[in-house]
Structure 1
Amino acid sequence: MSSNNSTRETRMSRNADHQSGPQRPHHGWRLFRRILFIIVAIGVFAIVAGAGLFFFYAQSAPKITQSALSSDASTRVYDANNNVISRLGAQNRTYVKSKNIPDTLKAAVVSTEDRRFYQNNGVDPIRILGAAFANVSGSSLGMQGGSTLTQQLVKLSVFSTAASDRTLKRKAQEAWLALQVDHKYSKDQILEYYINKVYMGNGVYGMQTAAQYYYGTSLKNLSLPQLALLAGMPQSPTNYDPTTYPATAKKRRDLVLNAMAKNKVITSAQAQEAEAVSIKNGLSSIHQTTASTSAKTTKVIDAYLKQVYSELKAKGYNTTTGGLKVYTNLNMDAQQKLYNIANTSAYIAYPSDKFQIGSTIVNPNNGKVVAMIGGRKTGNVTFGLNRAVQTGRSSASTAKPLMDYGPAIEYLNYPTYEPVKDTPFTYPGTDKKLYDWDKQYQGTITMRKALYESRNIPAIRTLQNVGISKATTFLKGLGMTFDKTLTLQNGIGLYISTEQEAAAYAAFANGGTYYKPYLVSKVVTQDGKAHNYSATGKRAMSAATAFMLTDMMKDVMTNNNGSGRSAAISGLYQAGKTGTDSYPDDYADKVPDGATMDSWFTGYTKSYAVSVWTGYDKQFEPGHYVSEADTKIAQEIYKYEMSYLAQNAPNTDWTKPSTVTETTQNNNKEYYITGHAGTVADTTSTSQYGSTNTTSSSAYSSNSQVTTSSSSSRVSSSTTESSSSKESSSTEQTPGGDGNDDNTNSSSTTTSSASSTTQTTDNNKDNS
């Protein structure tokens, strides 16, 4: 026991000695202090670096002026001569001074956009942290953002609103300028600028103009719920439009009222009373605007402007709040001429006001769209249906140079005098016969004659030899891609727009280079930064192919049997192709003989390519057919417009490239690719065939003496798509569109199975 006590005493003594001596820091505490020091150091470094980066960006911030703060944020559009042709938004703004802005509206805007507006210096760190928390927690209900009202004003006044410009640099410069604005201007001035600048939907800028537009009166006459609605609209003016989306507009208005009550500028009872008022209370059925761009000018350029805004949207620009300067390729004189041809009786006797057109004019040397019209007799509409870019109607025989004869020259080395067969034809795998408009056959004829007379059967036989794969590749080089595999039927009808077709034919005009068509050449954002746009040319075909096609298409207008003689312009070097799209068999007996659904003409010089579609929007309604006489209207539109364009453009002929050899065949000047002359067959007689189906015979069956090298090239190029008889299987094309398709900028086409019994272009007729 004595031993145990001694041991216990010894331990107690040691503990007493340990506790009474100096305390040594615990190892964990030292580690914690070290980590804390590192964190603080990193934090200090981050703050210093952030401040340095902030001031670095701030030095390059653009200057902000009173003019920029007070001006509208409209998008200005210029033609090719730098003349303003449209000011989206500027025409719809009435400026209101601070003294005439109701205090209730000011309170609503502050409560909604920046509750500490009168306390902050243009930037609110508390607001930024609150916005971050609200966004993470999802508790903001759309009422809390990181930018102060002053920062929003700066953004609307100086910077682009494009998503690509939402960078750290822009945010730093925005904050720096907001501090300057807050220092230089009073809170009332800042609020005045903001209320007059914000976009309020429907092309309206500023809340005073919005009061006139939506309620038919000024701000001072509006009630609390009406002012609350206007205060909440800038966040999403389209979605909060009370005339179009009353439910979402009411929800937003009530949120503003709740924010005002929370900010103690109205009572809860006042908020509840205002919330009970119908969102439609006091709305005007007649919207008042003041236009600086005349209605007449707007109608003339409507389709072109619509496509301009489509291009801008595709590039990421906001045309409603961007404050952009948009420079286009529009030739206003050419546009006005095209509009006059379409809408006055001075040029063409149209069958009715419902008869429609769509047309696009392209510069072949750079892809610039210089004019475009999307309809006629449209009334006072803004951005109506643009038929120039719709793809729901068959291009009929204007597809032949693109899908049939162009690829045949490019890949199979066809000469212009290539023998082709115009003999009875049935689509492989079906019992569907293909006919020409006259239900006649001409036997063996030259490719040139088949083209300028627009014979269908030789075109499809040529496509068989080319093969769908090669033809599709050729089309892709001309900017055309399709959602579904093309078929033989598409050789006499592609579902493309006049814009696409004008750009494709432009490649024939310039010697084989494709330029993607474009309308916008330059965009200058609010910060003064210029963005230039152009098309890069890509080789789509050989110079030989372009020249030989052009030479054959000259005959469309100049040959006595050419299908496009109504488009001929004396003395002008030009080429082109007609297209008429007949009704399907099950509807043909409901329209007069010779009536068609659509009529096209696409032609070109070395300076311009013009594509024209004509027809009715609802082609299956009674009387909505293009009569045989009216199929000439597309050619006449082209003729009048091209005659005008040619007055100020060089009139020069195309020069034969060195890769092409000239020859004389059957007393006619013809051409072939050097080294691929082929053999000429007798095409002087016109044969008439009965109902015997000869589809098993090759398009070349009478041309057995073709040179070995040329024949070998052709066979190898078509083995993928063709059988040994050079006739591939195909499916049929269903009728395209119901006349209501506004599928702009689409190149897709729809195919159906081979069992389909109706089709659009079997009876394509290009009248002589």
Structure 2
Amino acid sequence: MPTESRKRRRKSARPSRRAPAAVTGWKLWLKRLFLWGAGIAILCALVLGIAVAVTMKGLPSYNQLRQSQNGQTIVVRARDGSQLVSLGPSYGEWIPYDHIPQVMKDAMVSVEDRRFDMHPGIDPIGLTRAAWVSVTTGTGMRATSTITQQLARNIFLNSSRTLDRKAREGVLAMALEAKFSKEQILELYLNKVYFGGGAYGIDSASRRFFGHSAETLSLEEAAIIAGLVKAPSRYSPTADADAAVRRAGIVLRTMAANGYITEGQAGAVDIDTVDIKEDAGGNAVRYFTDWVLPQLDVLIPVTYEPIEVWTTLDPALQETASKALNAHAPDGAQGALVSMDRDGAILAMVGGKDYVDSNYNRATQALRQPGSAWKLFVYLAALEAGYTPDDRVVDEKITIDGWTPRNSNGSYSGEMDVRAAFAYSKNTVAAKLGYEVGFSTVANMARRFGISTPINTLPAMVLGTSEVRVLDMTRAFAGISARGRSVEPYGIVRVRSSSGETLYEHRPARQQQLVPDYVAAGITDLLQTTVNIGSGRAANIGRPVAGKTGTTSSNKDGWFVGFSSGVTTGVWMGRDDAKAVRGLAGGAAPARAFAEFMRQAVAKRPVEQFDTDLSLPEWQLEPDEEDPYGDPGDYYYVDENGNIIDPNEVDDFFNRGERRPEGIETPEGGRESPPPAVDPDFLDRAINGPRPTAPQQRETPPRDAPPPKQRPAPSPEPSPRTTSRPVTQPID
């Protein structure tokens, strides 16, 4: 028994085992979150591993990647078949890893991916740091692409920034790292990455910018090339040497910070001493190619094979145009020149004094006020309304809706003919004519001749306050050279693929008669007189020339646009910031540049006399009371947007529906005109008010011209309410 009691005492002395306490509250949720997170992470890693394995299996071999090329090669040829430029990818010699200078490897790794030797294709440290910066600063996620990711993007993907594309880029990068060594990846990268100017790979970049193989790159040159990857166009040494030097300095400091060179080595490098190879093929002709090549997107089907583009450009005239602009443009001013043949073929196009210094194409992109060159459309509208070059007008002080135009010399010449008023660019006469025919009529005339920019219809518009392009103004004058027919500018003759297939062939555009022949003859008479005795005398080249000067207030813009022997040329000069240029006038520097160019442009062409014989229509010679407006075929209609309407479709345009027989049926079966709903005289007074006495515009009335639309006459003297308006007014 004692033994049993002792056993019971020992058993009771042992501590009792209790069931573990259940985990509750936030600890339970933390535990679940950890378990679920670990499970999801394992699942994601498994999926990522499978994706990388599958991608790696489908990757091309190293030799296949070496032979692949990106981009399309485009050879642009002149009208004579000579090569203007070759655009697209340019690949130099393949440089093996062991032959790539160490400074080039170090510079590229240092500035683009300093943990290149450590990561598996994507940089977790860099991604984490970028995410932290994004969260703490509120800015967007910055690019953290490794060299391997960049290589994957360049070979297999595009440059879009979508999440899907970034995910595929990461998978491809890890697959590349799994399949190839670091040395192979860096060799591929340095031989395939884009450095700007069409150069792919360090050897192509070295030859393009320095004129020698990449195997002999110096530290300074390697720093410049490494700095290009971030923004090839912005840091190109041929486009902006200062920007390239600044970027190269950053590369050198980064190399020093990462231990590839010492601070002393970085400070001893003088990047300014690097000899940059001149970009001989990137000057004036590039203004033309920049304008013409984007047109391929709509002219030919999508193709990635090399193509050849035959253009209308004349290389000799292009060089002459560039020299003429540089020789005559005032200091600090820019210039533009466009020249086209009688069919619209562009013979020369220069958009600035130096393409390398500025690739902004002022011939096709700049919007500038044309000054008095705009009077072409004012006088066209007046001639179409019934004026002739011999009609008499009065140069006197007038005020129109509070606006008082003035002539360049501040004086008035009194009575003169239309021809002299145009030749000496009388602003008051242009204002009177524009007021009489209607400012919207002038705007529609400009639209008819190809002006595509917005046009205001305020009174000062007659003096060229609406901004235009040089190309559009040249096209308008080419329409006059073509005797009033439309001219469509073009620069591409044909496009062929490398296999010889013709992808595009230019077909002449269908010409439309923009104004009657007698109007074209009349305006040609005025334009020829301007060059012979008027403001454009500096444009004379010893053969018939017709043209017009244009100068805006404070000499901000100078124009001369004219034609001879089937060639039409427009010249503009001015500053990009629209500040005044001392001594700039359309009849001076622009006219002289025009003359220098045109002497060469028409040298081998026969001399052509202008057709200025006015064969007036019958409605101006023999009026018919029953048909005061003559033959409808003599008129050219435009819609509300200024587009020409085919004369055969005029009825459809105005009726817009089924034609109904006019008049009221009589008992005898005939028709008589219905009575007017409102008395015409009452309606005229209600709309226009009392009919004022028109000012004396001519010595004799026009030859029974159709009555123009009645308008309140402009005051011959300034009205008391005349105010000064902020309108740029031409001075010639």
Aligned to 1:370: 347
Between the aligned residues of both structures, percent identity stands at 17
Q: Flag the 1:233–1:470 CA change in 2: closer, same or farther, 3 A.
A: same
Distance 2:163 2:82 in 1: 36
* Aligned-pair CA distance for 1:562: 4.9
How far is the alpha carbon of 1:195 from its aligned partner? 1.2
Q: 2:712 — aligned with what? A: 724
Distance 2:287 2:699 in 1: 50
Q: Distance in 2 between matches of 1:631 and 1:186?
A: 63
Q: What is the identity, as a one-letter code, of the residue corresponding to 1:480?
A: S
Contact 1:730–1:754 (CA under 8 A) maintained in structure 2 = no
CA RMSD of aligned residues (A): 6.8
- Counterpart in the other structure of 1:425: 397
The corresponding residue for 2:380 is: 406
Asked if 1 retains the 8 angstrom alpha-carbon contact of 2:245 and 2:271, the reply is no
Corresponding residue for residue 261 of structure 1:
none
1:77-156 to 2 correspondences below 5 Å: 77-87=76-86, 96-102=95-101, 141-144=142-145, 148=149, 150-154=151-155
Letter matched to residue 271 of structure 1: N
- Matched residue, 1:598: 558
Match among 602, 610, 633 for residue 643 of structure 1: 602
- 1:11-22 counterparts in 2 under 5 A? none
| Cα distance in 1, alignment partners of residues 350 and 134 from structure 2 | 49
Match of 1:683 in 2: none
Q: 1:27-38 residue pairs with structure 2 within 5 A?
A: none
Looking at structure 2, the residues matched to 651 and 401 of structure 1 have their Cα atoms a distance apart, in angstroms, of 21
Q: 1:439 to 1:556 in 2, by over 3 A?
A: same
2:460 to 448, 470, 488: 488
Matches within 5 A, 1:468-479: 468-477=439-448, 478-479=450-451
The one-letter amino acid paired with 1:358 is A
Question: CA 1:197 to 1:231, structure 2 compared with 1: closer, same or farther past 3 Å?
Answer: same
CA contact (8 A) 2:564 2:602 kept: no
Contact 1:362–1:370 under 8 Å retained in 2: yes
Q: Give the CA deviation at 1:407.
A: 3.4
Shift in Å, 1:611? 1.2
Tell me how far apart the structure 2 counterparts of residues 109 and 290 of structure 1 sit (CA, whole Å): 22
How far apart are residue 529 of structure 1 and its match? 12
Q: Is this contact kept in 2: 1:506–1:604, CA < 8 A?
A: no
Could you tell me how far 1:217 is from its partner in structure 2?
11
**In structure 2, do the counterparts of structure 1 residues 252 and 756 end up closer, same or farther at CA, with 3 Å as the change threshold?**
same
Aligned counterpart for 1:396 among listed residues 360, 363, 371: 371
Show CA shifts across 1:92-148 (max 9, x none).
Answer: 96764432125685588689579999999xx99x9xx99999999999742237984
Deviation at 1:550, TM superposition (A): 2.8
Task: Trace 1:563-602 onto structure 2 (pairs within 5 A).
Answer: 563=534, 564=536, 576-581=546-551, 598=558, 600-602=560-562
Q: Structure 1 residue 326: deviation in Å?
A: 7.4
Find the aligned partners of 1:521 and 1:172 in 2 and give their Cα distance: 44
Q: Quickly say closer, same or farther: Cα 1:93–1:569, change in 2 above 3 A.
A: same
Partner of 1:543: 513
Structure 1's 102 and 569: CA in aligned 2 closer, same or farther, altered over 3 A?
closer
Q: 2:285 aligns with which of 280, 289, 301?
A: 301
Do residues 329 (structure 1) and 311 (structure 2) align? yes
In structure 1, what is the equivalent of residue 570 of structure 2? 611
CA shift digits 1:343-381 (9 cap, x unpaired): 799xxxx69888975321124535x433123566x6x95
Distance (Å, rounded) in 2 between the aligned partners of 1:628 and 1:546: 29
Shift of 1:484: 6.1
DSSP 3-state at the match of 2:558: strand
Aligned partners of 1:566, 1:215: CA distance in 2, in Å? Answer: 45
Q: Which residue is equivalent to 1:288?
A: 275
CA distance change for structure 1 residues 433 and 183 in 2, over 3 Å: closer, same or farther?
closer
SS in 2 for 1:644: coil
Query: Is this contact kept in 1: 2:549–2:586, CA < 8 A?
Result: no
Q: Which amino acid aligns with 1:603?
A: F
Amino acid at match of 1:504: A
Residue 361 of structure 1: aligned partner: 339
CA distance in 1, matches of 2:184, 2:500: 24
Q: Does 1:507 find its partner at 2:479?
A: yes
Q: Find the counterpart in structure 1 of residue 675 from structure 2.
A: none
Report how many residues are paired: 597
Counterpart Cα distance in 2 of 1:287 and 1:730: 66
Deviation at 1:178, TM superposition (A): 11
User: In structure 1, how many angstroms separate the alpha carbons of the residues matched to 2:521 and 2:528?
Assistant: 11
CA distance in 2, matches of 1:286, 1:313: 41
| Change in CA separation of 1:308 and 1:280 when aligned onto 2, cut-off 3 Å | farther
Question: Cα distance, 1:244 vs. partner?
Answer: 2.5
Compute the displacement of 1:198 (Å): 2.5
Is the alpha carbon distance of 1:614 and 1:271 closer, same or farther for their aligned partners in structure 2, counting shifts above 3 Å? closer
Residue 195 of structure 2 corresponds to residue 200 of structure 1: yes
SS at match of 1:358: strand
2:592 corresponds in structure 1 to: 633
Give the distance between the partners of 1:394 and 1:104, measured in 2 at CA: 53
Letter of the structure 1 residue corresponding to residue 339 of structure 2: I
Q: What code does the residue aligned with 1:395 have?
A: P
Aligned equivalents of 2:589 and 2:217: distance in 1?
57
Q: SS at 2:393's partner residue?
A: strand
Q: Is the 8 A contact 1:569 1:639 kept in 2?
A: yes
SS in 1 for 2:547: strand
Q: SS of the counterpart of 1:725?
A: coil
SS of the aligned residue for 1:458 comes to helix
| 333-342 or 166-175, larger mean C-alpha shift | 166-175
CA shift in 2, pair 1:641/1:501, >3 Å:
farther
Deviation for aligned residue 1:559: 5.2
Change (3 A) 1:386 1:180: same
Query: C-alpha distance in 1, partners of 2:72/2:277?
Result: 16
**1:469 Cα deviation (Å)?**
2.9
Partner of 1:463: 434
Q: Deviations over 1:605-656 (max 9, x none)?
A: 5x5321124679998566x455977685255236414423636xx9698799
- Structure 1 residue 453 displacement after superposition: 5.4
Q: Which amino acid aligns with 1:405?
A: Y
Map of 1:271 onto structure 2: 258
- In 2, are the aligned partners of 1:389 and 1:499 still within 8 Å (CA)? yes
Alignment partner, residue 692 of structure 1: none
How high is the TM-score relative to the length of structure 2? 0.58
Separation in 2, partners of 1:198, 1:531: 30
Instruction: Determine if contact 2:324/2:593 at 8 Å carries over to the other structure.
Output: no
Distance (whole Å) between structure 2 residues aligned to residue 555 and residue 184 of structure 1: 78
Equivalent residue, structure 2, for 1:553 = 523
1:288/1:449 Cα in 2 relative to 1: closer, same or farther (>3 Å)? Answer: same
Normalising by the residue count of structure 1, what TM-score does the alignment of the two structures yield? 0.56
What amino acid maps onto 2:195 in structure 1?
A: M
The Cα shift of 1:284 comes to 1.2
2:264 and 2:500 mapped to 1: Cα distance?
45
> How far apart, CA to CA, are the structure 1 residues paired with 2:467 and 2:177?
57
Quick one: structure 1 residues 453 and 597, their matched pair in 2 at CA, closer, same or farther if it must change by over 3 Å? same
Deviation of the 1:551 alpha carbon: 0.9
- After TM superposition, give the deviation of residue 285 of structure 1 in Å: 0.7
2:561 is paired with a residue whose SS is strand
On the 8 A contact 2:352/2:358 being kept in 1, the answer is no
Q: CA deviation at 1:208?
A: 5.3
Q: Residue 38 of structure 2 aligns with which residue?
A: none
Highest RCO, 1 vs 2 (Cα 8 Å, sep ≥ 6): 1
1:237-248 correspondence to structure 2 within 5 Å: 237-238=232-233, 244=243
**Shift in alpha-carbon separation, 1:416–1:531, aligned structure 2, 3 A:** farther
